[in-house]
Structure 1
């Protein structure tokens, strides 16, 4: 589903906007990532044998590569669907400048990133999607939502990802626009949504598998909201707690034990896998791209 390239594309769209430069296209990002050294290459001597360190050498031994980065899923609630609207807020133009990969003799190992590949090299070209921005604490690695907006309409990824990357970063009404100085503290997560199904009732879905989009009536007013698939598990909620929280998010203020008494409660379940990339990984890749241009 979502891939590292999708995340890099979103990060570059925001960084380029804030830095007042042209951003890369999704096609350029995908081609660049395909040739980018991801820590898989082991350095060897010209003879093909590992060199023994000199007994008189004062240089410290080389550090082992870090373990593989694991996929990160959204850590925060996301998606409030506005009835009649194709987009939802929560946790809801690229240039064609060419880039040239570094030569094969100019090896580059992204220190601190480890072996990173796109586990889901996707051939998907359009999809419903959400882009989530989180602020990552440098000490505890804890995440706090910084912006998230998405759409349930199928959109071309080449334009939809960059559009919602900017909208979620700069136009989420719950937060101030992300500033240039914040980039080093950010992580972006992309979720592509699939398998939309009408649930039989409010409990006809699986924790950790399905995201939810609900709509209902209360006091002659229509409400609607959504959560991405990982939200309930991340928060430690059971199904009922998830539904009540989602109704609260939609603006419902009734007693929690009365949640099932609202009018015409409709639940749509969906699935989606997220991929995340932090600033360090994006910045190392971007430096490699710029180096290849020279």
Structure 2
């Protein structure tokens, strides 16, 4: 389900929009991420063969060991592609390629957080949909919508890109809860609706929100009702009429800018010209 490749795709869509360039597709991002991840796994790790420093220096003289001692980016460039004889093109989309997640449809949310220099995380935008989306279009649309159109925040600017973290949550297992408290902290997200003063209100929290905030279940419900627009006394939330709770689960992945940038630089090394990958 949710993978860091989908977060990388959201970063790719946002970066391409801000830089006025063409973005990779989800399929291309997934395949390039797999290739990048595999190349990292193939690289030798220092000290993993049990030899002392002198022996390692002697072995480095040999041609085969010298190849493995090259910097990571050079090793990746020299490594033959498992799908193509040319390192300057994107991986093939033939039937031998792994099946991408972009063939599936899910309700989804894209979250942007700002990470401060001290490591503190603060919300920068979060918008999604409960309607199932084909992932290529859905992730692209909501990566940009949550970045530019969340009314709680100004649009994300290019200068902010390096401070961002992206989270992607794919939603599953929707159930009508038999009661307002019939759900589990850390497992379920909530979608509520209720009638108050003749008007209908509604709001949602993703599964990770209550635990991140340190809330109890009751505090979560009261906060969610406040988010929807309710202004009553917190000890009277149970008196609100027709409170309906739908619980759901979410599979989340996240990625920081640095991780995405390292991958994107590798993509450019494989065939980029002026920062743009040569697209097939």
Greater C-alpha Rg: 2
User: Superposition pairs for residues 240-251 of structure 1, below 5 Å?
Assistant: 240-251=218-229
> For residue 44 of structure 2, what is the aligned residue in structure 1?
43
Name the structure 1 match of 2:171.
193
Mapped to 2, the partners of 1:35 and 1:50 lie a distance apart of 29
| Whole-Å separation in 1 of the counterparts to 2:52 and 2:21 | 44
Q: TM-score, normalised to structure 1's length? A: 0.74
Match for residue 260 of structure 1 among 220, 238, 242: 238
| TM-score, normalised via structure 2 length | 0.78
User: In 2, Cα distance between the equivalents of 1:102 and 1:176?
Assistant: 40
Task: Say if 1:203 and 1:27 are closer, same or farther in 2 by CA, change over 3 A.
Answer: same
> How far does residue 41 in structure 1 lie from its aligned partner after superposition?
3.0
Displacement over 6 Å in runs of 4+? none
Secondary structure at the counterpart of residue 40 of structure 1: helix
Q: Is the Cα contact below 8 Å between 2:26 and 2:102 reproduced in 1?
A: no
Structure-1 separation of matches of 2:214 and 2:121: 16
Pick one of 127, 144, 152 that aligns with 2:106.
Answer: 127
Structure with bigger helix share is 2
Q: 1:52 to 1:147 in 2, by over 3 A?
A: same
Which aligned pairs between 1:18-167 and structure 2 lie closer than 5 A?
Answer: 18-37=18-37, 39-43=40-44, 52-53=53-54, 102-104=77-79, 125-139=104-118, 141-167=119-145
Output the CA distance in 2 between the equivalents of 1:232 and 1:49.
47
Provide the rounded CA distance (Å) in 1 between the counterparts of 2:269 and 2:131: 38
Q: Work out the CA distance in 2 between the residues paired with 1:44 and 1:235.
A: 39
Alignment root-mean-square deviation, CA: 2.4
1:285 aligns to 2:260 (yes or no)? no
Greater relative CO (CA pairs within 8 A, separation 6+):
1
The 8 Å contact of residues 128 and 154 in structure 1, kept in 2 or not, is answered as yes
Displacement of 1:160: 0.3
Gaps of 5+ in 1: 57-100, 107-120
Going from structure 1 to structure 2, the CA distance change for 1:49 and 1:205 (only over 3 Å counts) comes to closer
Q: Give the counterpart of 2:201 among 218, 223, 226.
A: 223
